[in-house]
Amino acid sequence: MIPKHPRAKSLEQRHLIEKGVSKGIVTPTGMIAHGRGEAFDYLLGEKTSVEAEKQIEAAASMLLLAKKPIISVNGNVTVLCAKEIIKLAKVLGAKIEANVFYKPIAKRKKLIAKEFAKQGMQILHNSNAKIPGLNSERKNVSREGIYSADVVLIMLEDGDRTEALRKAGKKVIAVDLNPLSRTAKKANIAIIDNVVRAVPLLTKKSQKYKKKPKKWLTGKVKKFRNKKILRKIELRIRKG
Ligand code: ATP
Ligand code: MG
Protein backbone atom coordinates (compact mmCIF):
# COMPACT_ATOMS: atom_id res chain seq x y z
CA MET A 1 0.00 0.00 0.00
CA ILE A 2 1.25 3.49 -0.84
CA PRO A 3 1.65 5.47 2.39
CA LYS A 4 -0.57 8.52 2.62
CA HIS A 5 1.17 11.85 2.13
CA PRO A 6 1.76 13.37 5.60
CA ARG A 7 0.06 16.56 4.47
CA ALA A 8 -2.70 14.95 2.42
CA LYS A 9 -5.45 17.04 3.97
CA SER A 10 -3.72 20.29 3.23
CA LEU A 11 -3.07 19.19 -0.36
CA GLU A 12 -6.74 18.31 -0.72
CA GLN A 13 -7.72 21.82 0.39
CA ARG A 14 -5.23 23.34 -2.05
CA HIS A 15 -6.82 21.33 -4.83
CA LEU A 16 -10.34 22.51 -3.88
CA ILE A 17 -9.17 26.14 -3.90
CA GLU A 18 -7.52 25.64 -7.30
CA LYS A 19 -10.74 24.22 -8.71
CA GLY A 20 -12.65 27.13 -7.15
CA VAL A 21 -10.41 29.61 -8.98
CA SER A 22 -11.03 27.93 -12.33
CA LYS A 23 -14.80 28.04 -11.69
CA GLY A 24 -14.60 31.74 -10.79
CA ILE A 25 -15.88 31.25 -7.23
CA VAL A 26 -12.51 31.90 -5.62
CA THR A 27 -10.43 34.91 -6.71
CA PRO A 28 -6.63 34.79 -7.13
CA THR A 29 -6.43 36.99 -4.03
CA GLY A 30 -8.56 34.46 -2.17
CA MET A 31 -5.94 31.91 -3.13
CA ILE A 32 -3.25 34.07 -1.52
CA ALA A 33 -5.37 34.31 1.64
CA HIS A 34 -5.56 30.53 1.64
CA GLY A 35 -1.75 30.40 1.48
CA ARG A 36 -1.52 32.59 4.58
CA GLY A 37 -3.97 30.30 6.30
CA GLU A 38 -1.97 27.23 5.30
CA ALA A 39 1.19 28.71 6.83
CA PHE A 40 -0.53 29.39 10.16
CA ASP A 41 -2.14 25.97 10.11
CA TYR A 42 1.29 24.40 9.63
CA LEU A 43 2.63 26.30 12.63
CA LEU A 44 -0.32 25.15 14.71
CA GLY A 45 0.30 21.49 13.85
CA GLU A 46 -2.74 21.26 11.55
CA LYS A 47 -4.99 20.32 14.43
CA THR A 48 -7.56 21.96 16.68
CA SER A 49 -5.76 23.28 19.77
CA VAL A 50 -7.25 23.09 23.27
CA GLU A 51 -7.64 26.88 23.05
CA ALA A 52 -9.54 26.60 19.77
CA GLU A 53 -11.84 24.03 21.34
CA LYS A 54 -12.66 26.55 24.10
CA GLN A 55 -13.29 29.21 21.46
CA ILE A 56 -15.61 26.85 19.62
CA GLU A 57 -17.51 26.05 22.83
CA ALA A 58 -18.06 29.74 23.54
CA ALA A 59 -19.10 30.30 19.93
CA ALA A 60 -21.63 27.45 20.01
CA SER A 61 -23.13 28.96 23.17
CA MET A 62 -23.36 32.43 21.64
CA LEU A 63 -24.94 31.11 18.44
CA LEU A 64 -27.51 29.08 20.37
CA LEU A 65 -28.45 32.16 22.40
CA ALA A 66 -28.89 34.28 19.26
CA LYS A 67 -32.34 35.39 18.13
CA LYS A 68 -31.28 35.75 14.52
CA PRO A 69 -27.96 34.04 13.81
CA ILE A 70 -26.45 34.19 10.33
CA ILE A 71 -23.53 32.47 8.66
CA SER A 72 -21.72 34.67 6.15
CA VAL A 73 -19.92 32.74 3.40
CA ASN A 74 -17.32 33.70 0.80
CA GLY A 75 -15.78 31.83 -2.14
CA ASN A 76 -13.05 30.04 -0.18
CA VAL A 77 -15.30 28.56 2.50
CA THR A 78 -17.86 27.53 -0.11
CA VAL A 79 -15.39 25.35 -1.96
CA LEU A 80 -13.75 24.11 1.25
CA CYS A 81 -16.77 23.14 3.32
CA ALA A 82 -20.24 24.08 1.99
CA LYS A 83 -21.71 20.74 3.09
CA GLU A 84 -20.47 21.19 6.67
CA ILE A 85 -21.79 24.77 6.78
CA ILE A 86 -25.25 23.53 5.77
CA LYS A 87 -25.22 21.01 8.62
CA LEU A 88 -24.28 23.76 11.07
CA ALA A 89 -27.01 26.09 9.78
CA LYS A 90 -29.59 23.35 10.23
CA VAL A 91 -28.57 22.60 13.81
CA LEU A 92 -28.63 26.32 14.68
CA GLY A 93 -31.69 27.26 12.64
CA ALA A 94 -29.46 29.93 11.08
CA LYS A 95 -29.61 31.49 7.61
CA ILE A 96 -26.63 31.56 5.26
CA GLU A 97 -25.69 34.62 3.19
CA ALA A 98 -23.07 35.06 0.48
CA ASN A 99 -20.82 38.06 1.09
CA VAL A 100 -17.67 38.64 -0.92
CA PHE A 101 -14.84 41.17 -1.12
CA TYR A 102 -13.64 40.96 -4.71
CA LYS A 103 -15.43 41.64 -8.01
CA PRO A 104 -17.45 40.53 -9.93
CA ILE A 105 -19.63 40.68 -6.80
CA ALA A 106 -23.11 39.74 -8.08
CA LYS A 107 -21.75 37.02 -10.33
CA ARG A 108 -19.65 35.43 -7.59
CA LYS A 109 -22.49 35.62 -5.08
CA LYS A 110 -24.70 33.82 -7.59
CA LEU A 111 -22.06 31.14 -8.19
CA ILE A 112 -21.75 30.62 -4.43
CA ALA A 113 -25.54 30.33 -4.08
CA LYS A 114 -25.53 27.79 -6.90
CA GLU A 115 -22.96 25.64 -5.08
CA PHE A 116 -25.16 25.66 -1.97
CA ALA A 117 -28.28 24.93 -4.04
CA LYS A 118 -26.53 21.87 -5.48
CA GLN A 119 -26.30 20.58 -1.91
CA GLY A 120 -29.98 21.36 -1.35
CA MET A 121 -29.71 24.68 0.50
CA GLN A 122 -31.11 28.04 -0.60
CA ILE A 123 -28.99 30.91 0.65
CA LEU A 124 -29.35 34.70 0.57
CA HIS A 125 -27.34 36.53 -2.08
CA ASN A 126 -29.28 39.74 -2.74
CA SER A 127 -28.11 43.25 -1.79
CA ASN A 128 -30.85 45.57 -0.57
CA ALA A 129 -29.23 47.08 2.53
CA LYS A 130 -25.88 48.54 3.57
CA ILE A 131 -23.66 48.12 6.61
CA PRO A 132 -22.65 51.69 7.50
CA GLY A 133 -19.02 52.75 7.72
CA LEU A 134 -17.68 50.18 5.30
CA ASN A 135 -15.97 51.10 2.03
CA SER A 136 -15.57 47.70 0.41
CA GLU A 137 -18.22 45.79 -1.54
CA ARG A 138 -18.73 43.79 1.64
CA LYS A 139 -21.04 46.60 2.79
CA ASN A 140 -23.85 45.41 0.49
CA VAL A 141 -25.97 42.89 2.34
CA SER A 142 -29.43 41.39 2.48
CA ARG A 143 -31.96 43.11 4.74
CA GLU A 144 -33.40 39.72 5.71
CA GLY A 145 -29.94 38.37 6.46
CA ILE A 146 -26.79 40.04 7.79
CA TYR A 147 -28.47 43.46 8.08
CA SER A 148 -31.01 42.29 10.65
CA ALA A 149 -28.98 39.53 12.35
CA ASP A 150 -27.85 39.77 15.97
CA VAL A 151 -24.98 37.27 15.76
CA VAL A 152 -22.86 36.88 12.62
CA LEU A 153 -20.48 34.00 12.00
CA ILE A 154 -17.78 35.11 9.58
CA MET A 155 -14.85 33.19 8.11
CA LEU A 156 -11.62 34.35 6.46
CA GLU A 157 -12.53 37.96 6.94
CA ASP A 158 -11.09 41.40 6.67
CA GLY A 159 -10.70 43.43 9.81
CA ASP A 160 -12.68 46.34 8.39
CA ARG A 161 -15.92 44.42 8.13
CA THR A 162 -15.52 42.88 11.57
CA GLU A 163 -15.20 46.38 12.98
CA ALA A 164 -18.17 47.73 10.98
CA LEU A 165 -20.39 44.83 12.05
CA ARG A 166 -19.46 45.43 15.69
CA LYS A 167 -20.26 49.13 15.29
CA ALA A 168 -23.63 48.17 13.80
CA GLY A 169 -24.36 46.48 17.14
CA LYS A 170 -23.82 42.87 16.09
CA LYS A 171 -21.95 40.15 17.88
CA VAL A 172 -19.23 38.71 15.67
CA ILE A 173 -17.72 35.25 15.73
CA ALA A 174 -14.77 34.89 13.35
CA VAL A 175 -12.92 31.81 12.13
CA ASP A 176 -9.41 32.91 11.19
CA LEU A 177 -6.13 31.02 11.48
CA ASN A 178 -4.17 34.19 12.19
CA PRO A 179 -4.35 35.03 15.92
CA LEU A 180 -2.74 38.43 15.23
CA SER A 181 -5.20 39.65 12.59
CA ARG A 182 -7.45 42.62 13.23
CA THR A 183 -10.36 40.30 12.57
CA ALA A 184 -9.35 37.98 15.42
CA LYS A 185 -8.79 40.89 17.78
CA LYS A 186 -11.98 42.77 16.92
CA ALA A 187 -14.33 39.79 17.03
CA ASN A 188 -16.31 38.97 20.18
CA ILE A 189 -15.11 35.41 19.73
CA ALA A 190 -12.29 34.44 17.39
CA ILE A 191 -11.83 30.79 16.51
CA ILE A 192 -8.20 30.18 15.55
CA ASP A 193 -8.59 27.02 13.55
CA ASN A 194 -8.99 25.87 9.96
CA VAL A 195 -12.62 26.20 8.79
CA VAL A 196 -12.56 22.58 7.63
CA ARG A 197 -12.07 21.46 11.25
CA ALA A 198 -13.77 24.32 13.09
CA VAL A 199 -17.15 24.11 11.34
CA PRO A 200 -17.81 20.38 12.01
CA LEU A 201 -16.70 20.75 15.62
CA LEU A 202 -18.94 23.79 16.03
CA THR A 203 -21.84 21.70 14.73
CA LYS A 204 -21.04 18.87 17.15
CA LYS A 205 -20.82 21.22 20.14
CA SER A 206 -23.99 23.07 19.14
CA GLN A 207 -25.88 19.81 18.91
CA LYS A 208 -24.67 18.83 22.38
CA TYR A 209 -25.35 22.26 23.92
CA LYS A 210 -28.87 22.49 22.53
CA LYS A 211 -30.05 20.58 25.58
CA LYS A 212 -28.39 22.97 28.03
CA PRO A 213 -30.36 25.64 29.90
CA LYS A 214 -30.01 29.26 28.75
CA LYS A 215 -28.28 30.22 31.97
CA TRP A 216 -25.55 27.66 31.37
CA LEU A 217 -24.95 29.01 27.85
CA THR A 218 -24.86 32.61 29.10
CA GLY A 219 -22.29 31.59 31.70
CA LYS A 220 -20.05 30.10 29.00
CA VAL A 221 -20.16 33.31 26.96
CA LYS A 222 -19.56 35.54 29.99
CA LYS A 223 -16.50 33.60 31.07
CA PHE A 224 -14.89 33.84 27.65
CA ARG A 225 -11.94 36.26 27.25
CA ASN A 226 -11.05 36.73 23.59
CA LYS A 227 -7.77 38.67 23.92
CA LYS A 228 -6.43 36.42 26.66
CA ILE A 229 -6.93 33.25 24.68
CA LEU A 230 -5.46 34.86 21.54
CA ARG A 231 -2.28 35.63 23.46
CA LYS A 232 -2.06 31.99 24.54
CA ILE A 233 -2.29 30.85 20.93
CA GLU A 234 0.31 33.39 19.83
CA LEU A 235 2.67 32.02 22.47
CA ARG A 236 1.98 28.49 21.29
CA ILE A 237 3.13 29.50 17.80
CA ARG A 238 6.18 31.45 19.00
CA LYS A 239 7.39 28.68 21.30
CA GLY A 240 6.82 26.00 18.67
P1 ATP B 1 -7.09 41.59 8.88
O2 ATP B 1 -7.68 42.48 7.82
O3 ATP B 1 -8.13 40.94 9.73
O4 ATP B 1 -6.01 42.19 9.71
P5 ATP B 1 -5.99 40.06 6.67
O6 ATP B 1 -5.76 41.31 5.92
O7 ATP B 1 -4.92 39.01 6.65
O8 ATP B 1 -6.35 40.35 8.18
P9 ATP B 1 -7.71 38.70 4.87
O10 ATP B 1 -6.91 39.17 3.75
O11 ATP B 1 -9.17 38.79 4.69
O12 ATP B 1 -7.38 39.43 6.21
O13 ATP B 1 -7.23 37.21 5.22
C14 ATP B 1 -8.02 36.15 5.51
C15 ATP B 1 -7.56 35.41 6.74
O16 ATP B 1 -8.08 34.08 6.63
C17 ATP B 1 -6.05 35.26 6.94
O18 ATP B 1 -5.74 35.68 8.24
C19 ATP B 1 -5.79 33.73 6.84
O20 ATP B 1 -4.85 33.28 7.78
C21 ATP B 1 -7.16 33.15 7.14
N22 ATP B 1 -7.42 31.85 6.51
C23 ATP B 1 -7.10 31.45 5.26
N24 ATP B 1 -7.51 30.19 5.02
C25 ATP B 1 -8.15 29.78 6.14
C26 ATP B 1 -8.82 28.57 6.51
N27 ATP B 1 -8.91 27.53 5.69
N28 ATP B 1 -9.36 28.51 7.75
C29 ATP B 1 -9.28 29.56 8.60
N30 ATP B 1 -8.67 30.73 8.30
C31 ATP B 1 -8.11 30.85 7.10
MG1 MG C 1 -7.20 42.86 5.74
Q: What is the model's pLDDT at position 1?
A: 66
Ligand 1 atom 15, closest CA: 156
pLDDT tens column, 202-235: 999 999 999 999 999 999 999 999 999 999 999 9
Q: Which ligand is nearest to the CA of 184?
A: 1
Q: What is the model's pLDDT at position 7?
A: 85
CA distance 141 to 43: 35
Cα 158 to ligand 2 centroid, rounded to whole Å: 4
Q: Is 46 left (phi over 0), alpha (psi -120 to 50) or beta?
A: left
Ligand 1 atom 26, closest CA: 194
CA distance 214 to 196: 28
Q: Are 95 and 70 in contact (CB under 8 A)?
A: yes
Helix axes 195-209, 50-65, angle to 10 degrees: 50
The stretch 188-214 carries a mean pLDDT of: 98
Atom number, ligand 1, closest to the C-alpha of residue 77 = 27
The more confident residue out of 180 and 158 is: 180
Report residue 19's pLDDT band, with 50, 70 and 90 as the boundaries.
Answer: very high
Q: Which ligand is nearest to the CA of 176?
A: 1
* Domains of the chain: residue spans and CATH: 50-235 (3.40.50.12640)
Cα 225 to ligand 1 centroid, rounded to whole Å: 21
Atom number, ligand 1, closest to the C-alpha of residue 80 = 27
- Record the pTM: 0.97
